[in-house]
């Protein structure tokens, strides 16, 4: 195999277009595309989807060009789409998924097995052989598309657990491509991972990559442990390396960043500030606490409500002075576990409102909806405190977005100890979400914190978010991927020469 220097594009210094020559592109692969095609009255329009990771990579390719391979989310889509419309700077290549794929691969294996498994919630896992078989077939379809689309020298960056088998399937046909996969969820301790019936196959699929990225050191360590115990692979923990079937793969932490400037600019926009003021006036509350999540059992929404209820029970002085705004984004509405969670959240919100409401004051404003970025940032700006209590979370980008949206350092972040972001954002008020008394105490501490102390904490958090922003995160991963692939290619060439 020919040795080559990492391309300028991989190093983040080149902005290409969809039609540019080979050897310059970044190819991103994910289950879902960062857009949706909306059909109304016989017309079609393209809208970006709202979501931390999808939005993050959309901006990355808009800045630097390349190709995105994904499922569109629908069944009638063009095979390829220049994006953004009118001013394309990259292209999307759509993999078609049918109803059986969506049912068995996505709602089945991904949502009912891998999602709870990765979050260490074994009681929510449902393992089904037909789901696994369809997962294999869909991964093969994605791999075939990548093999057909990728030019020699392109770098492939695969996203998340939906495509865990894809690296090895691509590698079997294309040894010329640097392949990285980033794991956007936690990786569980090996003792929990071992319950997965197809534990060997999934690890072997991931090890087709040159680089496996995780949010934290702990997740990377769990992965290395699994490779050693499940596969019997040779593991070098000091170098974070796995050698399996003659190939070398590195597993390293790359904490995901956000486009900080984007959120700062939105937060400073006069329209956003005006909207934030309207939100506060409508709440009629001196202190606004905000929680934003997908409606998911990993997010600790019920635990947050119980902690807020305990706060109101033990701090009557703050009745009619504090309101919790709970934004729950609809998620996986066809999955039974999520239907049950929605019912529990609705009932708990109703009970707390009925218990404490008085004199025109309602303690919880519950919004079961998905906001656009502008409306979401307006809520960030309106809030004095963010209360984010996931039971397990790969990173939690909402925490970073909230910090970036308060350039005046006038807010407090309360964050679960079990979010990946807690490893970085140590100046937040960290809390065990399972402990309602601790959540209540953290709320009281946040409300009563001296302004100077609040500002100092927030200033440090903003510095950290700036230092590890989207650009730094992506550059670090792609630099490491290009460098590791060059080393592996050189080793392969040396073996071939013998």
The answer to whether the CB of 299 falls within 8 A of the CB of 393 is yes
pLDDT of residue 359: 85
In angstroms, what CA-CA distances link 168 with 139, 180, 222, 249? 10, 11, 20, 11
Give the span between the Cα atoms of 487 and 492, in whole angstroms.
Answer: 9
Look up tokens 């490893």; give the residue: 423
Residue where the block lists tokens 């195999």: 1
| Cis, bond preceding 84 (omega within 30 deg of 0) | yes
Which residue blocks in 318-450 are alpha helix, DSSP H?
336-356, 373-382, 397-404, 436-448
pLDDT in tens, the chain (498 residues): 333 333 334 443 333 333 333 345 889 999 988 777 777 777 777 776 655 566 667 777 877 789 999 998 876 778 888 887 778 888 999 999 999 999 999 999 999 999 999 999 999 999 999 999 999 999 999 999 999 999 988 999 999 999 999 999 999 999 999 999 999 999 999 999 999 999 999 999 999 999 999 999 999 999 999 999 999 999 999 999 999 999 999 999 999 999 899 999 999 999 999 999 999 999 999 999 999 999 999 999 999 999 999 999 999 999 999 999 999 999 888 788 899 999 999 999 999 999 999 988 999 999 999 888 899 999 999 999 999 999 999 999 999 999 999 999 999 999 999 999 999 999 999 999 999 999 999 999 999 999 999 999 999 999 999 999 988 898 899 899 987 655 454 344 433 433
Question: What's the token pair of residue 221?
Answer: 């360590």
Counting runs of H as helices and runs of E as strands, what totals does the chain give? 17, 18
Sign of the CA dihedral with 103 first, then 107, 112, and 115 last? positive
Q: Is 127 strand, coil or helix? A: coil
Query: How many CB atoms are closer than 10 A to CB 346?
Result: 13
Based on the number of CB atoms within 10 Å of its own CB, is 69 exposed (0-12), middle (13-18) or buried (19 or more)?
A: buried
Residue 167 DSSP SS3: helix
∠ CA 136-139-141, rounded to 5° = 110
Pair of tokens at residue 114 = 């891998």
Cα distance between residue 485 and residue 497, in whole Å: 18
pLDDT recorded at residue 268: 97
Residue 488 has what pLDDT? 53
- Measured CA distances, 295 to 289, 291, 390 (Å): 18, 11, 11
Residue 38: predicted pLDDT: 73
Dihedral angle, C-alpha 280, 283, 286, 290, nearest 10 °: -80
CB crowding 93-116: b at 16 or more within 10 Å, else e:
bbbebeeebbebbbebbbbbbbbb
Using CB atoms within 10 A of its CB, is residue 284 exposed (0-12), middle (13-18) or buried (19+)?
exposed
pLDDT digits (tens, 9 = 90+) for 24-68: 588 999 998 877 777 777 777 777 665 556 666 777 787 778 999
Residues comprising the chain, all counted: 498
Q: Is residue 290 within 8 Å of residue 379, measured between CB atoms? A: yes
The predicted structure's pLDDT at residue 484: 61
Counting beta carbons within 10 angstroms of the beta carbon of residue 357, is it exposed (0 to 12), middle (13 to 18) or buried (19 or more)? middle
The phi and psi torsions of 277 (rounded to 5 degrees) equal -65, -40
The residue with tokens 């879902």 is 32
| Rounded distance between C-alpha atoms, residue 18 and residue 87, angstroms | 11
Task: Name the β-bridge partners of 26.
Answer: 155
Report the C-alpha gap between 363 and 361 in whole angstroms. Answer: 6
Residue with tokens 């100092």, as numbered in its chain = 456
| Residue-level pLDDT at 277 | 97
| Residues 225/234, Cβ–Cβ less than 8 Å | no
Where would I find the beta strands (DSSP E) of 19-114?
26-32, 35-40, 43-48, 67-71, 80-83, 90-94
What structural domains does the chain harbor?
A: 26-257+471-490 (3.40.50.2000), 260-467 (3.40.50.2000)
Structural Rg of the chain based on CA atoms: 23
Residues with catalytic function = 184, 393
Burial of 444 from C-beta contacts in 10 A (0-12 / 13-18 / 19+): middle
Query: Torsions phi, psi of 329, nearest 5?
Result: -85, 125
Residue-wise DSSP of 92-113:
EEEPP--HHIIIIIIIIIIIII
State the Cα–Cα distance between residues 458 and 407, nearest whole angstrom: 9
Give strand pairing partners of 289.
Answer: 324, 385
DSSP code at position 402: H
């Amino acid at each position: 195999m020919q040795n080559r220097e990492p391309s300028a594009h991989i190093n983040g210094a080149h902005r290409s277009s969809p039609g540019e020559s080979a050897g310059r592109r970044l190819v991103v692969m994910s289950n879902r595309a960062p857009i949706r095609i909306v059909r109304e009255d016989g017309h079609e329009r393209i809208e970006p989807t709202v979501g931390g990771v999808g939005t993050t990579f959309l901006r990355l390719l808009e800045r630097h060009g390349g190709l995105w391979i994904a499922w569109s989310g629908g069944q009638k889509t063009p095979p390829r789409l220049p994006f953004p419309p009118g001013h394309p700077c990259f292209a999307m290549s759509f993999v078609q998924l049918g109803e059986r794929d969506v049912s068995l691969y996505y709602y089945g294996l991904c949502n009912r097995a891998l999602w709870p498994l990765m979050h260490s919630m074994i009681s929510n896992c449902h393992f089904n052989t037909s789901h696994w078989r369809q997962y294999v077939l869909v991964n093969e379809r994605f791999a075939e598309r990548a093999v057909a689309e990728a030019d020699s020298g392109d770098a492939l960056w695969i996203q998340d657990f939906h495509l865990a088998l894809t690296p090895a399937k691509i590698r079997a046909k294309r040894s010329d491509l640097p392949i990285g996969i980033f794991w956007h969820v936690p990786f569980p301790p090996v003792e929990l991972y071992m319950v997965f019936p197809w534990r060997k196959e999934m690890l072997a699929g991931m090890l087709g990559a040159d680089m496996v990225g995780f949010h934290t050191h702990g997740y990377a360590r769990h992965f290395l442990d699994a490779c050693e115990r499940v596969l019997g692979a040779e593991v070098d923990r000091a170098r974070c390396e796995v050698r399996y079937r003659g190939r070398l793969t590195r597993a390293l932490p790359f904490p995901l960043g956000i486009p900080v400037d984007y959120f700062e600019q939105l937060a400073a926009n006069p329209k956003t500030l005006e909207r934030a003021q309207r939100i506060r006036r409508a709440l009629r509350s001196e202190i606004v606490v905000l929680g934003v999540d997908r409606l998911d059992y990993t997010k600790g929404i019920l635990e947050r409500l119980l902690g807020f209820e305990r706060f109101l029970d033990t701090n009557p002085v703050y009745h009619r002075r504090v309101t919790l705004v709970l934004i729950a984004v609809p998620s996986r509405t066809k999955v039974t576990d999520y239907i049950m969670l929605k019912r529990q959240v609705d009932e708990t919100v109703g009970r707390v409102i009925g218990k404490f409401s008085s004199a025109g004051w309602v303690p919880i404003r519950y919004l079961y909806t998905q906001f656009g970025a502008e409306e979401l940032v307006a809520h960030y700006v309106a809030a004095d405190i963010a209360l984010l209590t996931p039971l397990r979370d790969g990173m939690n980008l909402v925490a970073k977005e909230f910090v970036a949206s308060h350039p005046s350092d006038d807010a407090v972040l309360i964050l679960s100890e079990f979010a990946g972001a807690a490893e970085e954002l140590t100046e937040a008020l960290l809390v065990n979400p399972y402990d309602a008394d601790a959540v209540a105490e953290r709320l009281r501490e946040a409300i009563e914190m001296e302004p100077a102390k609040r500002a100092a904490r927030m200033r440090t958090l903003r510095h950290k978010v700036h230092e590890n922003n989207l650009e730094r995160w992506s550059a670090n991963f792609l630099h490491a991927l290009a460098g590791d692939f060059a080393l592996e290619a050189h080793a392969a060439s040396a073996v071939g020469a013998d």
